[in-house]
Structure formats: C-alpha cells, structure tokens
Amino acid sequence: MSDPISRLDQFRADTPGAPMKSAAEVRQRGDQIRRRRRTLVAAGAVAVAAVVAGPIIFLSAGFGERAIEPQPAPAPTPSQTPSTVAPSPSGSAAASDLTRANLPTEDDLVAEDPYPQWVLEQTFDGEGRGDHNECLPALADAGALATFRRDFIPEAGQEYADSAGTLKAVVAEFGSADEAEKARAELSDAASSCTAVDGAEVAGSLPVEGGVVTRGDIVVVTYLPEGTDTNARREVATAVVTVKDRLVVITRRRGVQDYVSPTALQTSAVNAAYRLVGSSPPPASTSSSATSSSSSSSSASAPAAVLSDAHLVVAGSLPGLPMEGESSAVWQQVAPQPTPTLYCQGAWLSSLKAAESVSREFRLENGGSQIGKVNVTVLEFAEKEGADAAFETVHGWLDACPASMSDAKLFTARPVEAIEIGTTPEIDRAAQTLAEYAADCGGEGCDSTWYDHQTVAQLGTRLVLVTHAEAGGPCPPTRACPPEEASDYTEWDNRVAQTVEATVARAFQDLP
C-alpha cells in the first residue's frame, strides 16, 4: 500500500514554484514586502505635497507670461520631428516640449512689394498681452498645452513702413494630431466668420500647402473700423497651419485700398511650419526675390508686363491750390493708403478682372491740415470686351455711389455725365461725377466737406480711374463764397481738368 504523504510530496514537486521554501525563507520574504510598502507610502506623501505646492510654484514663476527669457531646448536636426510624450498609464496629460525656438524668425517672413522687411518687436510666453487676432478665441480655450507668441513690425524709417501694418505669430502644441486638426478647423471657421467684429466681410482665401505642412489655409476679412468718417477699410489676414500635433497662427493687419492675394503670407506660413518641428525653411523660400525668380523661370512663356510706374502721373504735373495771402502748397506722393481709388467705388478693383494694374496717391497739406487728395489707378485688360465691361461697372458705381458710409454724411452733387478730355491719343470715352461728403473733424461737429471729382476714362483695353478731391466748407473751393456766378467755378474746374488730363495723357502715352 502506498504512503499518502509521499504522494502529497510528489504533488508539491509538480507545482510551479516548487519545492516549497523553508520557514526562514518565508519570514525573510515578509520583511521585504513590509519594507516595500513603507517606501511606497513615503513616495505617495511626497507626491501629495507636490500637488499642494504646485499652484504656488506656478504663480511664483509667472505662469503664462514670464519676464525672464526661458532657456530653449536644443532644436532637433532638420531630419528629426518632435516627439510627443506619451500619456502615462494613469491617464495624466502629456507634457509639451514646445519652446520659443519654434516661433518664426524675421528671416522666415516675406514682405510684399513695396513694403519693407518685417523685424522683431517682442516675444511672449503664452498668448501675450491683448488679442493677437480680433476674430479668434484664445488658443488655450481650444485645448493647447503650451503657447508662445512673437510680434513683428515693418522696419522703421523705410518707405511705406507706416502703411505696411503689423504681423503676429502664435505657436501651440496639442495632445495629439487629431486635437490639433480639430483646433485648426475651428480657428479657420472663426477667422472667416469673425463674429466679434461688426460688418466683417470675407475678401478672399488661399490654401497653405507644401513642405512639412499637414494642413492649412489663409482667410482674409475686411471691415470698417468704428468711429471713422472715411470709407477706409481694415484687413485681417489669418493663416492657420498644422504640423502633426502642433499649430501656428499668423495674423497680418493693415489698411487696404484693394484686395491682393496674400501669397507672401502663404510663403511665410510654410516657413513658419518648418520652425514648428525645429527645422530651418529651405533657402529658396525665405526671400521674396528667390520666390520671384523661381516663379518667373517656371513661367518663361508668360507675356511681359505692359504697365509700369511710367504710366502714372507725377506730383509736378498736378495743379496747385492757390490760397489767398499764401503761396500754393505742394503735392506730395504718399505710401499706399487704406482708401479706395474712387470714393464711390462699389467693390475691390480686383473684381474688374484686369490683367494688370498700377496705382499712385498724392496728398496736399497746408498748416498741418489736409486740403487735397489725388488717387490714380491704371488698369490693363487682356481683351477690349473686358475693358468695356469694366467701364460700365465703374460708370454704375459713379452713378449710384454705393460707398459704405452713412447717407447723412454723403451726397452726390451732380449726376454722372460724359466728359471730353483733350489728350493725344484721343480717348474712346470718359465719365465723371462730383460727390460731397463730410470731413473727419476729430469727433467734433464742423462744416468741413470734401468735394470729390471722380473720373473713369477708356482707350481700347485700358482704363484709368482718377480722384481729385479738395477740402471746403461751408462753401465749395470756389472763388466766391457763396458762389453766385458761373465764373466763380472757373479756377476750380480748371484744376480738376488739369489733373484729369495729366493723368490720362500719362496712362495712355504708349497707345496708338
């Protein structure tokens, strides 16, 4: 008969972990377990203390905006892409390694001709002081883990610096590529609707593609600022671009006379995308000259430009405005202004679909006050039919004057009428109107008024648009106040005619 204890010993030997440990070994194992538990309890207490002290540490460091420049992490090589810290098993939020080094630099930004290069103004940790874009919510509200901002201004002292506007860039990192794409879509929608600004209208858009870009687009809106007595519009161009789990928003603000496709901002946004991953943009994309030479080489068969500055009137050809007891003031050419060429202009001139256009503006001042304005644009069309249609459109603008101003501050003094212009070559046709509108008196009531002659002339495939405006009030800029005879208007009429003739002669000088 077999021994049952012996069979039990054999059962133990076949069990995983057998043979069984001695009593001394069991006691030693218990001591190890107790020591481990004491260690874990101590570590847990330290973690709780860190949670309690956390807000105090953040506040003392100036969380969000810090006056002390942080030390940026070493940028990865161009072949590397940033790695997002994976969530811990406990589900805690991912850490961000985004730094100021991921913001675009001056060299990444392309300035549109004829404006000067962008230069750095200031850099912020976080989204900075004040809104970087009046159409957008805060990126923190969109779920960004970290943000940095950099503001740029035109190079001071350069020509057209005063009218170039401003440019601001904000970079952000999200918990995943899906979260970044969701934020991009929401920000792009907010940029196009721009519900925070009354009267904002979409002027155009462009995609942002190429390089390291995951997805991106540019939306341009314009609006009339509150409290202004002119029809000068403001433009907000917003580029929103993602690269995996990171995002950059570039905002350019400026005053505008006409919509121009934001191709320079498009190139700047692609360059900024490279900085998001710690790389430098390709050399060819960092300068406007390189971009121009590249595009010209790829379209060598494109026709040569017809229009140039040679088709625009110069200040010396404009008539002076004689003032009693004083010498005549001198016309000065100025930087492009955020006002339409024609006060009664009903849409962007780009809506006329001209193949080319050139423009120039002049102002006349006396004693610090503006007393004269001349705006000129010359348009060249591919076909005469296009020029014919554009003339009719502009004629309709002059007739109805659909300017975006209060009716109480605008009225047309006389209906649009055909006029003769004594130039060689002889023009096909021309039309002119006189609009009167209140001048800006700095928020105070006054009787100052602009008397604005607006003209459109056509010869073949070319149109020229001319504004000649003079300040007056309570009487027009006539010899007598109030004018009583036709001769009282003679000097004023002659000044307008001289401006129009000089402008049209210059614009059509090369036509048969």
pLDDT tens digits, 185-212: 999 999 999 999 998 999 999 999 999 9
Both 284 and 313 in one domain: the answer is no
Q: Is residue 461 part of a domain?
A: yes
Task: Please identify, among 236, 266, 292, the residue that sits at the C-terminal boundary of a domain.
Answer: 292
Residue 427, domain CATH: 3.40.1000
Angle at 279 between CA 274 and CA 280, to 5 degrees: 80
Examine the pLDDT at 3 and tell me if it is beyond 50.
no
Cα distances (angstroms) measured from residue 133 to each of 35, 184, 338, 372, 466? 58, 14, 19, 34, 35
Q: Is residue 30 part of a domain?
A: no
Both 454 and 415 in one domain: the answer is yes
- Within 8 A by CB and 6+ apart from 484, the residues are none
Both 254 and 382 in one domain: the answer is no
pLDDT digits over 100-112, tens only? 999 999 999 999 8
Both 282 and 315 in one domain: the answer is no
Angle at 86 between CA 215 and CA 136, to 5 degrees: 40
CB 500 within 8 Å of CB 421: yes
Tally the domains of the chain: 2
Both 157 and 269 in one domain: the answer is yes
Tokens of 205: 């858009």
Q: Is residue 90 part of a domain?
A: no
Q: Is residue 180 part of a domain?
A: yes
Alpha helix segments (H runs only) across 373-489: 384-400
Nearest-angstrom CA–CA distance, 457 and 132:
43
Both 251 and 333 in one domain: the answer is no
pLDDT digits over 429-479, tens only? 999 999 998 877 665 666 789 999 999 999 999 999 999 999 988 889 998
Both 260 and 359 in one domain: the answer is no
Q: Of 103, 367, 399, nearest to 247 (Cα)? A: 103
Both 254 and 319 in one domain: the answer is no
Q: What is the pLDDT of residue 251?
A: 97
Q: What is the pLDDT of residue 169?
A: 97
Both 371 and 339 in one domain: the answer is yes
Both 287 and 212 in one domain: the answer is yes
Q: Is residue 133 part of a domain?
A: yes
Examine the pLDDT at 177 and tell me if it is beyond 90.
yes
Both 358 and 313 in one domain: the answer is yes
The parent domain of residue 242 ranges over: 100-292
Both 363 and 470 in one domain: the answer is yes
Task: Please identify, among 261, 292, 323, the residue that sits at the C-terminal boundary of a domain.
Answer: 292
Minimum mean pLDDT range among 78-92, 250-264, 339-353 = 78-92
Q: Is residue 54 part of a domain?
A: no
Q: Is residue 489 part of a domain?
A: yes
CB 430 within 8 Å of CB 512: no
